[in-house]
């Protein structure tokens, strides 16, 4: 059940990001200003909350990325991505020019070479489809 809920949450976030990206490229000026006024504060607060969770502790480790057996020194990958997208901007190399924020299959580590049926069903689906008889 937790896996399904997690996938539902991830799908909702990916869909929201897709919608905002589409608006940014297709909306008229008035709509774009309206969306910017409502969404930019929400996005900046989201970044702040996420980055706060990754602030280094007194040893200089990221408490969120570190485990009991492996310490992750700051800056962790979350701070590196934040810097790349919020500060470096166009100077940072991008893997996918159309949608640089989207993960592609090649950037997601996997022991399998072929996607499963559940990974190919739906736009962002990874949860298996339940067969009803």
pLDDT tens-digit readout, 14-71: 999 999 999 999 999 999 999 999 999 999 999 999 999 999 999 999 999 999 999 9
3-state secondary structure of 133: coil
Output the 3-class SS for 76-127.
CHHHHHHHHHHHHHHHCCCCCCCCCCCCCHHHCCCCCCCCCHHHCCCCCCCC
pLDDT digits (tens, 9 = 90+) for 81-126: 999 999 988 664 555 544 445 544 333 333 334 444 444 444 454 4
**pTM of the entire structure?**
0.62
* DSSP tally for the chain: helices H, then strands E: 3, 0
């Amino acid at each position: 059940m937790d896996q399904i809920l997690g996938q539902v949450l991830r799908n909702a976030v990916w869909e929201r990001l897709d919608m905002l990206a589409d608006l940014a490229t297709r909306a008229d000026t008035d709509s774009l200003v309206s969306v910017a006024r409502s969404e930019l504060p929400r996005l900046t607060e989201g970044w702040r909350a996420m980055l706060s969770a990754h602030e280094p502790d007194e040893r200089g480790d990221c408490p969120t990325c570190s485990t009991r057996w492996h310490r992750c020194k700051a800056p962790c990958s979350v701070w590196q991505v934040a810097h790349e997208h919020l500060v470096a901007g166009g100077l940072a190399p991008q893997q996918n020019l159309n949608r640089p924020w989207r993960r592609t299959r090649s950037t997601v580590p996997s022991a399998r070479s072929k996607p499963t049926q559940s990974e190919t069903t739906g736009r962002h689906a990874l949860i298996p489809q339940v067969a009803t008889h």
